[in-house]
Amino acid sequence: MTARRLEVITETGRRRWFSKDDKARIVEETLVSGAVVSEIARRHGLTPQQVFTWRRQARRLPTPMADDPPFVPAVVDAFVPAVAVGHERKTARRKAKPDIGGIEIEAEGVTIRVGEARMWR
């Protein structure tokens, strides 16, 4: 008696199609703390690479903003140099420099200043 090799074909050979809801559900499973992507992929008959691709695509989707405005309103104030506030010089020590630009952003108690460093002295 000779041993013969038997091959079992379990797939139809065509591409499988997953709805957006199916993909979202599978991706959501991978985001649970302690989840192992390869185990989740195997359970759904997928490769881990496919699941990681779906995760990457999901991160790129724009998130809907329910109550948030699409832009934050900007308040523009005239810049008053510190020397002009309460400190008057009697004689100029150097030539006046042309106005230099800069941006100051205040949010939740944090101030971010962008522009030339001498502007903020």
**pLDDT at res. 35:** 92
pTM score > 0.75 for this model? no
- 40 versus 67: the higher-pLDDT residue is 40
- 115 versus 40: the higher-pLDDT residue is 40
Q: Is the dihedral of CA 53, 54, 55, 59 positive or negative?
A: positive
**pLDDT at res. 34:** 92
Q: Using one digit for the tens of pLDDT, what is the confidence trace for 47-84? A: 999 999 999 998 887 766 566 666 666 666 666 555 55
Contact call for residues 38 and 50 (beta carbons, < 8 A): no
Cα angle, residue 66 at apex, residues 61 and 68 outer, rounded to 5°: 100
